[in-house]
């Protein structure tokens, strides 16, 4: 097996990153490109990588595979943030099935679930969204949060989402109000058609 030394490349990339995050201690490593096919069997549906396109690293006799390819092949969504809801770099991997996406619009077109909230100077919400049916053109997705007594806490349009029929995606949104006392079981979503 022909091995390609990429330690220098990784070192150069990490050295460039030091200027951005000088407070984070970085280490240079030596690894090998390891031409390997990744085969994923999910509920009888097989998916495999092309070793020329999806590269695997061998470091200390351990295989390091691309996180996005493997996660999405298992039905998860992957989102990367830098200094977002949490300081530093964060990778979010969310797995959802239809039971997790319990909040639906009145027509059953869109479902949401796996809500995560971070409250502080700004409040953030992360949730997964799935499209079940065809979506009308020129729509906007609005979410409403209520407390245990059913009082409206916040009604807000979501941004930065794109739907694929049957697909799940992770959406992160800065909230325009406080939802600390929200009862998620009372959350509502609606598709609003733009005039």
Give the tens place of pLDDT for each residue, 103-127. 999 999 999 988 888 887 788 888 8
Indicate the domain borders of the chain.
4-72, 79-193
**pLDDT digit string (tens) for 19-74?**
444 556 788 989 999 899 998 887 777 888 888 889 999 999 999 998 888 887 87
3-class DSSP state for residue 74?
Answer: coil
The CATH architecture of the domain made up of 79-193 is Sandwich (2.60)
CB of 151 closer than 8 Å to CB of 188:
no
Percent of the chain with pLDDT strictly greater than 90: 29
CB of 75 closer than 8 Å to CB of 100:
no
pLDDT at 47: 83
CB of 56 closer than 8 Å to CB of 34:
yes
Question: What is the side-by-side order of every strand in the sheet holding 110-118?
Answer: 103-104, 110-118, 123-131, 168-175
């Amino acid at each position: 097996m022909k091995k390609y030394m990429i330690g220098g490349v990784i070192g150069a990339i990490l050295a460039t990153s030091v200027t951005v995050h000088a407070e984070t201690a970085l280490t240079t490593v030596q690894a090998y490109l390891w031409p390997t096919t990744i085969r994923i069997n999910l509920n009888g549906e097989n998916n495999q990588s092309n070793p020329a396109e999806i590269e695997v690293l061998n470091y200390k006799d351990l295989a390091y595979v691309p996180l996005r390819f493997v996660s999405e092949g298992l039905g998860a969504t992957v989102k990367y943030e830098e200094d977002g809801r949490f300081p530093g770099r964060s990778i979010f991997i969310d797995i959802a099935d239809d039971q997790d996406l319990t909040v639906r619009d009145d027509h059953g077109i869109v479902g949401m679930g796996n809500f995560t909230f971070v409250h502080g100077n700004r409040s953030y919400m992360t949730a997964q969204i799935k499209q079940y049916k065809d979506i009308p053109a020129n729509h906007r997705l609005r979410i409403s949060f209520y407390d245990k007594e059913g009082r409206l806490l916040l009604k807000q349009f979501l941004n930065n989402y794109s739907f694929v029929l049957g697909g799940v995606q992770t959406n992160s949104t800065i909230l325009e109000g406080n939802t600390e006392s929200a009862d998620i079981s009372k959350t509502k979503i609606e598709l609003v058609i733009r005039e």
